Each structure stands twice: as structure tokens, then as C-alpha cells.
Amino acid sequence: MNIPSELNISRRMLMGPGPSDMHPRVLKAMSTPLIGHLDPEFVRVMDEVKEMLQQTLKTSNALTIPVSAPGSAGMETCLINLLEPGDEAVICVNGVFGGRMAEVVERCGAKAIVVEAPWGEPMACEDVRNAVATCAPKLVAVVHAETSTGVLQPLEEIGQIARDANALFVVDAVTSFCGCDLRVDEWGIDALYSGTQKCLSAPPGISPVTFSDRAVDVLASRKTKVQSWFLDLSMLRNYWEGAKRTYHHTAPVSNVFALRAALRLVLEEGLEERFARHRENGELLRDGLEDLGFTYLVAPEFRLPMLHAVKLPDGLDDASVRMRLLNEYNIEVGAGLGPFAGKIWRIGLMGESSSPNHVNALLGALKVLC
């Protein structure tokens, strides 16, 4: 019988599109002894996590919970609970993750009315308005921070277009949550999903979601069953809400402990201070990359502060230099996706990975390798 050796993983500087580095307190929380997923102490932790999610998302939505699965499951949770066969949904696509939303909509038996923008550019509000006018959408969905291209999408005008059409406004905030300004209630967002492994700097495997009262009314008026038993909010919410918790599934207890620790760190730092840190480190990285001949894919006013999509200098080989960064400097950066494969890098400065030390380590390595 062959028994693998003791686990011995290299210590990396995680500067790709996720996951990001974790604070020692988050790692420590993961080593907390396990307790049962219905233990009164764990129920108290669940309530604390819900409250901190509401604070960081700037919402009073009662239905604000972490789904026990990664961000893609958060996307499915929002879409499959709100859509039924025959519904129409306007989906904004300017990268990989908008395309995934359109795919899920079709799998619901709903019709996706796709509005496209070139990769690397934000959605044009006029295009969204024109698409909404051609149908009776139940929802309008957009990616706030498109991880595949580094685009930050302004949300308020698209949200108003959705409200004017009496449609729900659904937002992918997987990369933006806890890294830049996000105001669920003020911006009229009806359903939002995120992830834990990016600017929150917790381990992957949990997806925070939040639903407005308008969205909850839609959930309550469904005529058909949600296609997924596990992600059906009519049952899932009974585990996370109320005085008497109804067993639904065995929650990832250690991940929830880690999420609690990560949320406390965010609130201790302060949201505005955290956003400023991401901006300042992003500017430091930008200046250094441009000095080395990298150019940005996205116009300055639409760039993400925590995810930098940059075109490679002439003569720099994508795969070999990224592999040398990993093997010789223990630094991970992300490759391009889709039409940008081999042409751009996606460099993350997310959460704990957003520091001058990370920036200077990468720039120092690149000065040698380039």
C-alpha cells in the first residue's frame, strides 16, 4: 500500500485572479475545533456572519446568507430561484462571467436576451435600455467586476433601467465585494452573489448572497419548483433564519469560522480604508508595470483597483515567464482567458494580497525576468 508523504505545500504570493493570501487570524479560525452544524454555538456564529455580511454589503436585507459552495453556486442560487421556464432575462456580457450567467438562464428554461460589449469595455447603458424595451424581462443581470478583463461596471444607471422596466436587478460581485464601493440598498440591487476567496481573503467554498424584499416576493410567488434541491432558498433559508433552525445540509463549519474571522478583519480596518488601500496599491502597481512596458487593457475610469488586466510587452513569452515567477519567486499571476489567452496577464491585488510588499516583490522579479 502506497501512502503519500506528509503534505508540504509551497508558500506562494497569490497575485492572480483568486484566491488571495489569507490573514493568520483566518488560518487560525480554520483550525478551531469542529462543532455540530446545529450546535447552539454554531447558530450564534451563523447569526454573527449574517450581520457582518449585511454591514459589508451595506444592506438591511433579511435574506442575506452564505451559500455552502463557491461563487458559481451563488450565481446559480440567484438565477434559478428567481427565474422560471418561459421567463425573459436581460443578461449583460462583456467577459467570461457574464457569459456564464446567460448559460445558467438558458438551463433554467428561461430566455436570455444577451447584450454584449467588447471584452475590456463596460456595458453601454443605451444598449441595455434598448434590449429591455424589446421584451418583458423578469430581471436584468450584470457583472460588477469582470474578472476576465479587469472592467469595473458602473451599476446605478443599469439598476434604474431595470427598475423602470419593473425588473429585478441582479449583480455579480464576486471580485468587487470588500475591494471597492458596493451599496446594495442605495443602488437598488435586488439579488447579489459574491465569493470569499478574493477581496475578502477567506478560503474558497462559500458564496454570500443577498435578496431584497422585491426578490423575496418573487421567490414566494413561484409556480414551479426550483430546479436544484440544494440551492432552493425556500428550504435553505430555514436553516439560516428564525429561532428554530431546520436541518438542510451539513454546513462547512471550518469555512464559516474562517468567513467570520475575515469579515471581522474587514470591519476592523473599515470599508472606506480598505477601498483606499486597494486603490493606492493599484496605483503603485500601475506605475511600476507601465515603466516595464506593460499597457492596460481597460480605460482608466473603468479599471478595477484589485484586478489588473495588462497587455504583455513585445517579446515577453506569457507561459514561460509566469512559470518562472512561480518556480523562482513563488509569485502567482493569472493568464488571459478566451480571446486574451497568451496576450494579457491578470494580476490580483485582493484583500491580504493588496500590499506594497506584494507589489514590490512582483516588480522586482519582473525587472530581472523582463
The domain that holds 28 is classified in CATH as: 3.40.640.10
Q: Are residues 99 and 157 in the same domain?
A: yes
Region 138-153: what's the mean pLDDT?
Answer: 98
314-341 confidence digits (pLDDT tens): 999 999 999 999 999 999 999 999 999 9
Instruction: From 249, 266, 283, give the residue that closes a domain.
Output: 266
Provide the pLDDT for residue 1: 87
Q: Are residues 199 and 55 in the same domain?
A: yes
Q: Are residues 79 and 146 in the same domain?
A: yes
Q: Is residue 76 part of a domain?
A: yes
35-58 confidence digits (pLDDT tens): 999 999 999 999 999 999 999 999
Provide the pLDDT for residue 31: 97
Mean residue pLDDT of the chain comes to 97
Number of domains in the chain: 2
Q: Are residues 308 and 193 in the same domain?
A: no
- Residue 243 pLDDT more than 90? no
Q: Is residue 5 part of a domain?
A: no
Q: Are residues 192 and 95 in the same domain?
A: yes
Instruction: From 232, 266, 300, give the residue that closes a domain.
Output: 266
Provide the pLDDT for residue 242: 79
- C-alpha cell, 325: 515567477
pTM over 0.85: yes
The amino acid that residue 264 corresponds to is: R
Q: Are residues 275 and 320 in the same domain?
A: yes
- Residue 260 pLDDT more than 90? yes
164-203 confidence digits (pLDDT tens): 999 999 999 999 999 999 999 999 999 999 999 999 999 9
Region 248-276: what's the mean pLDDT?
Answer: 98
CB atoms near residue 312 (< 10 Å): 18
Q: What is the CATH number of the domain that holds 281?
A: 3.90.1150.10
Provide the pLDDT for residue 370: 86
Q: Are residues 211 and 86 in the same domain?
A: yes
Q: Are residues 207 and 147 in the same domain?
A: yes
Domain of residue 275 covers 13-18+271-369
Q: Is residue 177 part of a domain?
A: yes
Provide the pLDDT for residue 244: 83
Q: Are residues 147 and 232 in the same domain?
A: yes
Q: Are residues 229 and 275 in the same domain?
A: no
CA angle centred on 351, ends 25 and 360, rounded to 5°: 110
- Residue 273 pLDDT more than 90? yes
CB atoms near residue 286 (< 10 Å): 18
Q: Are residues 39 and 125 in the same domain?
A: yes
Q: Is residue 2 part of a domain?
A: no
Q: Are residues 93 and 178 in the same domain?
A: yes
